[in-house]
Amino acid sequence: MRYHFSRKQLCIPYAVFLTCFVIAPLVVIFYYAFTNGEGRFSISNLTGFFTSGNTIGTLFYSILISVTTTCVCLLIAYPVSYILARSKIKKKAILLAIFIVPMWINFTLRILALKEVLSMLEGNLAYHPFLNTIIGMTYDYLPFMILPLYTTLMKLDNQLLEAAYDLGAGKLETFIRVTLPLSLPGIISGVTMVFLPAMTNYVILDMLYNNTFIMGSLIGSYFNAYDWHSGSMISIVLLMIILIITWATKGFTEKEPEREAIL
Amino acid sequence: MIKKILSSSWIGIVLLFMYSPILILTGYSFLDTPTIGASGNFSFQNYITLFTTPELMEMIIGTLTLALQCAIISTILGTLGAIGAFYSKKGMRGFVSASNQIPVVNADVVTGFSICVLLIVVFGLNKDSFIPLITGHVVMATPFVYLSVIPKLKQMDYNLYEAALDLGANARQALIKITIPQIIPGIVSGFLLAVTLSLDDYFITTYTKPATFNTISTYVVNATRGSNTELKTALWALSTLIFAIILFAVLVSNITTNRKAGEKNGRNQI
């Protein structure tokens, strides 16, 4: 039979690749999470996670760090994006680029810089581990919050604001009842881009001498101890959190992924 | 007036927060002191150390080589995948675009760990073969190539492809001469995104890399744990260089896009 080329066939390599290296690894960690060292089915990893005070404490500490980081980022980034989007200066794109540039510098090098400056200011980093972690996370993830907020605020229709003023709304009321609801997709996509990495990026804690574990550090320590079963269970818990967040924000986010706008 | 002052000062404060660490580090990379805040004399010693220490050069070249290799593989895989999925039936397209989303939303820690478990624990692949490392980086980067090519396919003029077929081109020729040129911007931005993602990655790298191999990220993290100040201050020089290169690239791309936009406006006016 003669070989017929068709464009559909082009996705076969990628489909095979996705099956082998995206789907299969997830299946494997599911298997590992629910088996013990002898390869028998076991839920001891699961019960171990939810009954150990250590792991539950870690989960809560991660959530605390994530929530604080996300709020701080949002509070800093919203005014910045708002000012940038509403300003009338011509070279807005350049100003935005200045805010986005740090995203392209290797994050470990940036945290290294931050660490040196913080040690200069505080003398010893060990005195304020939580504060330093929040500063580090904010420093790292701020551009990821600014970009989606800026994108949605740029799309905001000026006529809607004028209509609100004409209908007698004050500036504050217009902001709360028009601008804020319309920028919700940007807020949601910014929050998802900050919240999850903040739960898992344990390198920032390591580099800033915060010895408390977050969810990511648990995986790291199980990896170092060759404990694949417990590590897989933590991965599954993280996957569940991701799934819940994705499901909860599904209705709000825009179809097009924001990250493609980076370049 | 007050509003204007307030908003400019907010922008200023945030920029100060974002840039002062990098700029202070840049300044100190030209001094001979290992402590930030101390005074020192002007010196290129950090840059000399950076370029003459084999360990550091190996690490930099290794990181760049890895990023380029992975970006090339990701770009080919992702572009072909996007074209294929775009013309496939609903089921196939749904499968590819849904599984493509997984590494995007998943935490890097989980992606890296799961690939490590599959390739190294289950299949027993040797880490030193670099296969797990390259696979991990390709898994991380390809979805973003796919996502930057798909919108370009949607914007494409479908008639051109049909016209090429009518004029006697076969499917392969039409693909190479008509489809690919139209989606080139998406492919290029996907490639650049893949390079930056690979350069920035720490977690997937740690879980899959050979024990003796280091990328910039893993090297920096190890160096902050160690006590070798000479190598530590050489990293300040490295971060200065990277900062300068990125600043230059952004400047150039901004100027060229502005010029392009200007040309377009000019044409519209005519």
pLDDT tens digits, one per residue of A34-49 = 988 777 788 877 887 8
Q: Do B139 and A15 touch (CB under 8 A)?
A: no
Confidence of residue B264 (pLDDT cuts 50, 70, 90): low
**Which residues of chain A make contact with B144, given a CB cutoff of 8 A?**
259-260
Q: Is residue A112 packed enough to be buried (19+ CB in 10 Å), middle (13-18) or exposed (0-12)?
A: buried
Cβ–Cβ of A10/B14 closer than 8 Å? no
Write out the two tokens for B79.
């572009």
pLDDT in tens, B56-109: 999 999 999 999 999 999 999 999 999 999 988 888 899 999 999 999 989 999
Helix axes B90-105, B131-155, angle to 10 degrees: 120
The answer to whether B120 and B127 are in contact (CB under 8 A) is yes
Q: Residue A3: what pLDDT?
A: 67
User: How far is Cα B187 from Cα B76, in angstroms, rounded to an integer?
Assistant: 9
- Portion 11-40 of B in contact with A at CB < 8 A: 11, 14-15, 17-22, 24-25, 28, 35-37
pLDDT in tens, A75-120: 999 999 999 988 877 778 788 888 988 888 999 999 999 998 998 8
Query: What is the model's pLDDT at position A156?
Result: 85
Are the C-beta atoms of residues B89 and B180 closer than 8 Å to each other?
A: no
Report pLDDT for B99.
93
Short-list B71, B147, B35, CA closest to B102: B147
Give the C-alpha separation, B50 to A208, whole Å: 24
Q: What is the mean pLDDT of residues A198-221?
A: 90
Q: Contacts of residue A32 in chain B, CB cutoff 8 Å?
A: 117
A219 close to A211: Cβ distance less than 8 angstroms? no
The distance from CA B24 to its chain's CA centroid, rounded to whole angstroms, is: 25
Task: Categorize the per-residue pLDDT at B263 as very low, low, confident or very high, splitting at 50, 70 and 90.
Answer: low
Beta-carbon separation of A119 and B36 below 8 A: yes
pLDDT the model gives residue B270: 43
A71 or B225, higher pLDDT: A71
CB of B226 within 8 Å of a chain A CB? The answer is: no
pLDDT band of residue A198 (cuts 50, 70, 90) is very high
Mean pLDDT of A249-259: 56
Rounded CA gap, B79 and A8, in Å? 12
Answer yes or no: are the C-beta atoms of B164 and B177 closer than 8 Å. yes
Q: What is the pLDDT of residue A239?
A: 92
Q: Looking at residue B203, what is its pLDDT?
A: 94
Give the pLDDT band (50/70/90) at residue A162: confident
Name the residue of chain B whose CA is nearest to A16's CA: B96
Specify the pTM. Answer: 0.88
Q: What is the ipTM of this complex?
A: 0.88
Q: How many angstroms separate the CA atoms of B77 and B63, rounded?
A: 21
Percent of chain B with pLDDT over 90: 60
d(CA B123, CA A12): 23
Q: Where are the alpha helices (DSSP H) in chain B?
A: 2-28, 45-52, 54-87, 90-105, 108-116, 131-155, 158-166, 171-174, 180-200, 203-208, 216-225, 229-269
B2 pLDDT band (50/70/90 cuts)? confident
Q: Among A259-263, B16-20, B25-29, B189-193, name the one with the lowest average pLDDT.
A: A259-263
Contacts of A14 in chain B (CB under 8 A): 77-78, 80-81, 84-85, 96, 142, 146
Phi and psi dihedrals of A119, rounded to 5? -65, -30
Q: Kindly tell me if the per-residue pLDDT of A155 is higher than 70.
A: yes
Decide if B202 and A256 are in contact by the 8 Å CB cutoff.
no
Compute CA distances A227 → A12, A30, A200, whole Å: 35, 14, 18
Q: Tell me what the mean pLDDT of segment B34-58 comes to.
A: 88
Q: 3-class SS at B235?
A: helix
CB pairs under 8 A between A and B: 253
Answer whether B261 touches A (CB < 8 Å): no
Cβ atoms of A235 and A219 within 8 Å: the answer is yes
What integer pLDDT is reported at residue B215 of this predicted model? Answer: 94
Question: What are B156-208's pLDDT values in tens digits?
Answer: 888 888 898 889 888 888 888 888 999 999 999 999 999 999 999 999 999 99
